[in-house]
Structure 1
Amino acid sequence: MKYAVITGASRGLGAAVAQKLLTEGIHVISVARHENTELKQAAAEAGTGYMHFVCNLGFEEQVQNVFSEIAETVFKDAEQVFVINNAGVIEPIEVAGELDSSLVMTNVQVNLNAPIMICNLFLQKAKKTAVETVIANVTSGAAERPIHGWSIYCSTKAAINMFTMTAGLELEKAESSSKIIAFSPGIMDTDMQATIRSSSEEAFAELETFKNYKEKGSLRSPEIVAGALVELLLGSHLENGKVYKVNDLL
């Protein structure tokens, strides 16, 4: 059986990826604070396996416990495992010197620590069981340039890119069958974009630019981006450690 473990699968890109993988006959394991009941219904209609695990990625102990349980379940009969570390937070949107320390800690935990912990757990299991595991860490163009008010988001996404590249190098050296990549989805019409547009110009200098994206219809739908990611993952030519950009795939 093929499994796909998706964080942040209750909405946005995560939900769209889950929907597409279900149509491919892949057993989806959704991980989020809240369940998307439409996924459960879609799985039933497609006759595909589906499970949901409640987890707040902002808490280290929850991540360790929940994903240890998921890994034990999945690797019992898996022929291939996909892991999509999609969940992320943009807050705090604020200039350095005005940052909320609790929001900083949550951002680092959700955007960086949790994906690393999840990758580590699944790569350990993959090595022990010799099950091919493909990991995609969802990143951002913000990883590659400084953006006013996004110092923490830019930093965590840059760090996840470097982790991905390094882990990919290590898998290649070990001649592993497993792969790890990063995927930059571009600007999408999601709740994160709504959060960005609700910030202040003092905290985020590019506020008007992002409002214009919405007004001019420049935001891609999560379904289009999900299609590009799923096609990439199910292909046979993934390059270990590479940061793939949606603009190069569509």
Structure 2
Amino acid sequence: MNIVVITGGSKGIGKALAKMYASKHYKVYTLSRSIINIQNVTQIAVDLSEFSEVKTQFYMLLDELKKLTITSITLINNAGRLGSIGNIENSTPDDIAKTIQLNTTTPMVLSSMFINFTKQLTCKKQLINISSGAAVKPYEGWSVYCTSKAAIDMFTKTIAIEQENSKNGVKCMSLYPGVVDTCMQAQIRNTPESDFKNLQRFIDLKENDQLYTTDYVAEVIYKIDTENLLPNGAIFDIRNL
């Protein structure tokens, strides 16, 4: 059985990924706060910014997976948040902590649990972290978001090295989906220019129909996953495919 686990699977890229993998007859599990109407997907309601809840729910899912005959398994760390937009001194401690928890800490925790769970499996095992070009390009007003994504990229490269030297290692990569028509983009466009100097660029992208659709991004990610297009440890912008 081919299995995929997707965080943030109730909207945006995550929802499109869940639909894509389900259409290809994968056993699809999603973890997100919301439960939505989506066929052939097992949805687990969990606040991914709450550490104890994440750990408990993921352990329960892994216990379920032990009962299955697994022929391939992929974890896609997709869930994320932009957080408040503005200079760091205007961000609250709670917002900073929540953004780092969801964008960085939770993917690291889930990846650790996933790798440990799959140690004895000899099938295809893959970790895909959804990162951002903001990992390498600083944007005024996005200091926490940029930092969280830069951390995910370094995490990807580091565990890729670890897994290269492990028996039955997990392949790991980090993908930049480009600028996608999601709720996060709507949040950006509704930000006062005084808090985000690059505002007009994102407004223009929307008005000029230059945003990727979530379905297109999901299709590309599925292709990268299933056709083995990238090496272990790759940090890749899907616009370059």
TM-score by length of 2: 0.96
2:110 paired with 1:118: yes
- Pick aligned residue for 1:242 from 227, 230, 234: 234
When residues 173 and 222 of structure 1 are mapped into structure 2, their CA distance, relative to the original with a 3 A threshold, is same
Moved more, 67-76 or 138-147: 67-76
When residues 72 and 130 of structure 1 are mapped into structure 2, their CA distance, relative to the original with a 3 A threshold, is farther
**Structure 2: which 5+ runs fail to align?**
none
Give the structure 2 partner of residue 158 of structure 1.
150
- Pick aligned residue for 2:139 from 134, 147, 167: 147
Instruction: Provide the rounded CA distance (Å) in 2 between the counterparts of 1:30 and 1:245.
Output: 24
Q: Alpha-carbon deviation of 1:236?
A: 2.8
| 1:141-169 Cα shifts (integer Å, max 9, x gaps) | 00001100000000000000000010001
- Pick aligned residue for 1:107 from 86, 99, 103: 99
When residues 72 and 131 of structure 1 are mapped into structure 2, their CA distance, relative to the original with a 3 A threshold, is farther
- Pick aligned residue for 2:128 from 133, 136, 161: 136
Q: Alpha-carbon deviation of 1:214?
A: 0.7
TM-score by length of 1: 0.93
Instruction: Provide the rounded CA distance (Å) in 2 between the counterparts of 1:147 and 1:29.
Output: 33
Q: Alpha-carbon deviation of 1:238?
A: 3.4
Q: Alpha-carbon deviation of 1:237?
A: 4.2
Q: Alpha-carbon deviation of 1:3?
A: 0.9
Q: Is the 8 A contact 1:119 1:135 kept in 2?
A: yes
Q: Is the 8 A contact 2:7 2:79 kept in 1?
A: yes
| 1:164-222 Cα shifts (integer Å, max 9, x gaps) | 01000111122434211111100000000001111111211101111111111111101
Let me know the Cα RMSD of the aligned residues.
1.2
Q: Is the 8 A contact 2:46 2:54 kept in 1?
A: yes
When residues 131 and 68 of structure 1 are mapped into structure 2, their CA distance, relative to the original with a 3 A threshold, is farther
Instruction: Provide the rounded CA distance (Å) in 2 between the counterparts of 1:196 and 1:237.
Output: 32
Instruction: Provide the rounded CA distance (Å) in 2 between the counterparts of 1:234 and 1:131.
Output: 13
Identical-residue share of aligned pairs (%): 30
Instruction: Provide the rounded CA distance (Å) in 2 between the counterparts of 1:151 and 1:108.
Output: 11
Moved more, 103-112 or 92-101: 92-101
2:66 paired with 1:92: no
Give the structure 2 partner of residue 64 of structure 1.
55
Q: Is the 8 A contact 2:172 2:232 kept in 1?
A: yes
Instruction: Provide the rounded CA distance (Å) in 1 between the counterparts of 2:226 and 2:169.
Output: 14
Instruction: Provide the rounded CA distance (Å) in 1 between the counterparts of 2:66 and 2:160.
Output: 21
Instruction: Provide the rounded CA distance (Å) in 1 between the counterparts of 2:80 and 2:88.
Output: 20
Give the number of aligned pairs.
Answer: 240
Give the structure 2 partner of residue 26 of structure 1.
26
After the TM superposition, which parts of structure 1 deviate over 4 Å for at least 4 consecutive aligned residues?
none
Give the structure 1 partner of residue 175 of structure 2.
183
| 1:87-107 Cα shifts (integer Å, max 9, x gaps) | 100012110211111110100
Q: Alpha-carbon deviation of 1:74?
A: 1.6
| 1:112-156 Cα shifts (integer Å, max 9, x gaps) | 000000000000011134453211000000000110000000000
Give the structure 2 partner of residue 230 of structure 1.
222
2:29 paired with 1:55: no
2:186 paired with 1:199: no
**Structure 1: which 5+ runs fail to align?**
44-49
2:166 paired with 1:174: yes
Q: Is the 8 A contact 1:75 1:131 kept in 2?
A: no
- Pick aligned residue for 1:127 from 103, 107, 119: 119
Give the structure 2 partner of residue 47 of structure 1.
none
